Structure formats: structure tokens, C-alpha cells
């Protein structure tokens, strides 16, 4: 089952971990943090984007093989998550 977002294809049957995050800029570097943490610290951080992280490595292994889908708004992220949930139900 393939999910396509802005030309990027994700084979959902091979995803081992799928989770949302916020991509922030801190000290000149980017870092992925939880949506909750980003919301709590929104006055102190620079939000770059929202991301949906798709890992393909076995659970417990370091995530090397991953795709990050980037979104400008949290609403876009949640819409994509709903689309994926609908695909996985069918």
C-alpha cells in the first residue's frame, strides 16, 4: 500500500514506526521534537516545519532508513495522518 505526498512515495506495508514531530531550529541546527514539547516552548523556539516520520528499520534498531514528510501547518500534518489511517483501515 503506497501513500504519496508531494511526489514522495511511502510504502506503508514496510513502515515499522510512524509518528508526527515538529522540526525546530536550535543553536543553528535542526532537531525533531514532540508536538507537545514544541507547543509548550513555542515562545522560545523557531519552528521550521511539521513532519511525519516514517521509519523502515526493525524496532529496536537505530533508525537509518527513514522518510520525513514535511508540512507547513499542523492541520496539513493531521490531514495527512487521517489519509494514512484511512488507507490502513482498508
Question: 22-78, pLDDT tens digit by residue?
Answer: 999 977 889 999 999 999 999 989 999 999 999 999 998 988 999 999 999 999 999
Beta bridge partners of 49: 23
Q: How confident is the model at residue 81 (pLDDT cuts 50, 70, 90)?
A: very high
Whole-number Å distance between alpha carbons of 26 and 15? 29
Closest CA to 38 of 53, 26, 54, 56: 26
Enter the pTM of the model: 0.89
pLDDT of residue 28: 83
Place of cell 543553528: 28
pLDDT of residue 55: 96
Amino acid at each position: 500500500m503506497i501513500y504519496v505526498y508531494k511526489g514522495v512515495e511511502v510504502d506503508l506495508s514496510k513502515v515499522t514506526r510512524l509518528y508526527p514531530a515538529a522540526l525546530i531550529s536550535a543553536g543553528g541546527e535542526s532537531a525533531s521534537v514532540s508536538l507537545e514539547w514544541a507547543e509548550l516552548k513555542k515562545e522560545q523556539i523557531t519552528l521550521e516545519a511539521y513532519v511525519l516520520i516514517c521509519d523502515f528499520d526493525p524496532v529496536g534498531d537505530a533508525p537509518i532508513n527513514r522518510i520525513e514528510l514535511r508540512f507547513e501547518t499542523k492541520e496539513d500534518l493531521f490531514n495527512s495522518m487521517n489519509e494514512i489511517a484511512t488507507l490502513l483501515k482498508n
